[in-house]
Structure 1
Amino acid sequence: MAGADRGASRCWWPSTTGPTSRCGSSRRCSGALLPEGAEQWEVLGEFQYATVALDPQTGRIYSFAEGEEFYIPMHQDVSSLVHTLTVVETGLAELKKLPRNDDQARAEAVEALRETITRLDETPFASEDGEWSRFFEEIALGMWG
């Protein structure tokens, strides 16, 4: 699992996040193990039950689930995040048009959304424990549309 690299340090998160929030040793700890240099990562915000941060050196985006010890790669870059958010927003609007009791149509629509996202970047669904995997499980169960 990610985050178990040598030289990893603990990430300390601010109690409130904002556009200038950074991981750093002087802030409240979430307990997530981070690689060397993570204190320069930008906190982008919250995603359901996780903090989302950008590594400005690589452009990669990571999630740090509440109560978990390790970080999980979320996107290869910001364009993937924007693409995913756009696909999800459009997809949820389309899902709302489906008959509520048509589980087959919902399952096919959710799978089509996943495929559209993974054509650009497989990272959002690379981990079953990732935020997008969990979110799409909830969509498939009808919780978001």
Structure 2
Amino acid sequence: MEIHKSPTPSGYTIFADALSQSEDGKLNVFGIYHLGMQVQSIFPVTLASFVAITNLILDENFYNLDLILEIHFPGDAEGKPRFSNNLRFDGGMWNLKGADGLLHVPLPLFVRELRIEAEGEIRVLLNLGDRKIEVGNLHIASDREWLAKKDENVAAS
């Protein structure tokens, strides 16, 4: 059976509540979000902390090119990322090369007191100049059961 490598560029993002680094260099991630994030509040909401760890996978065709990693939040101005990081990689980054010969680049973002204006999609995009590739997304919404109970409590008082 033939095994195909992942197309490049590609990547994925892990969304979580918090992270820490242990003395032996391990990155410990806490409160990982799988399908979406439900908050027990109405929007806008402020998260105590927020983590997005993006892992980019690149081949030599993307060395020495200007790339931009963008993170967009719901309620922000269209086309204007809240966070962006200009990236440029060269072939000398041997410590980041995997057994597959591809460059695997971890890019952690940790934010305290993150305000999110509206329900919707948090999107992580790799901007290649002529096109953008989505390397992560997470839906954030109010917890409907919590909102219903809150409304019941207000009506009963």
Q: What TM-score, normalized to structure 1?
A: 0.25
Greater relative contact order (Cα 8 A, min sep 6): structure 1 or 2? 2
Greater Rg by CA:
2
Which of the pair is proportionally richer in helix? 1
Which of the pair is proportionally richer in strand? 2
